[in-house]
Amino acid sequence: MSKELKGFFENLVPLEPAVWADMEKIIQKKSLKRKEYFLREGDVCKRLGFIVKGYVRVFYTVNGEETTKDFNFENSFCGSYASFSLQQPSLFNSVAMEDTILYTLGREDLFRLFDKHPALQKVGRLSIEQMFIRKELREASFLLHTAQQRHDELISFFPDITSRVPLKHLASYLGIRPETLSRIRSV
């Protein structure tokens, strides 16, 4: 198991060696090539992933157009939690934008770990809280801030994003056209 994964968990909750031993038995390492899908719209999310290298772009397809919902970078989870939890088809796609390495965990295995190791329930709760807070702040940003402010917030949170993410995907994520993003970036 990677030091990144252990570090992420240990920053949230210190875990006993028995927890790590049980996790190592069921966590699977997975590699995705650039443009390979982790999850496709319409499929049920069977596994959640923790990214240690690379990133995935999360997007909806509406009337044949891709709209970027999010980016999941190193030290974050990927997959559809709603699909994973409810075992219903995912409403979005997750595709690797770089060669990506992640560790995955299946639903039943995760729930067994939660039952056996209460400390992991706290890790799960804290992880979901972080995701919820990020989503709430993103929603507020769309309602309260200009495109320029959304761009500046994104850059302050992910300073190297412009060197990794294509302009058209950044624009889609910010809810603007690529031409508008070019103007914002030239100021």
Predicted pLDDT of residue 4: 82
Cα torsion angle, 46, 49, 54, 57, sign: positive
Q: What is the pLDDT along the chain (187 residues), one digit of tens a residue?
A: 678 888 888 888 989 999 999 999 999 999 999 999 999 999 999 999 999 999 999 999 999 999 999 999 999 999 999 999 999 999 999 999 999 999 999 999 999 999 999 999 999 999 999 999 999 999 999 999 999 999 999 999 999 999 999 999 999 999 999 999 999 988 7
Question: What is the four-CA torsion angle of 103, 107, 111, 117, rounded to 10 degrees?
Answer: -10
**What is the distance, to the nearest Å, from the Cα of residue 153 to the centroid of all Cα atoms in its chain?**
18
Domain locations in the chain as residue ranges: 3-113
Alpha helix (H) residue ranges in 76-177 = 81-86, 107-116, 118-144, 147-157, 161-164, 167-174
Predicted pLDDT of residue 125: 92
CB 16 within 8 A of CB 119: yes
End-to-end CA distance of the chain: 44
- Between CA 128 and CA 123 the distance in angstroms is 9
Predicted pLDDT of residue 56: 98
> SS3 of 145, please?
coil
Predicted pLDDT of residue 8: 87
Predicted pLDDT of residue 159: 92
CB 53 within 8 A of CB 74: yes
Give bridge partners of residue 72 from the DSSP assignment. 56
User: Burial level of 57, CB count in 10 A (0-12/13-18/19+)?
Assistant: buried
3-113: what fold? Jelly Rolls (2.60.120)
Predicted pLDDT of residue 52: 95
CB 42 within 8 A of CB 89: yes
CA distances from 70 to 7, 29, 89, 173 (A): 23, 23, 18, 7
Predicted pLDDT of residue 23: 93
Predicted pLDDT of residue 37: 98
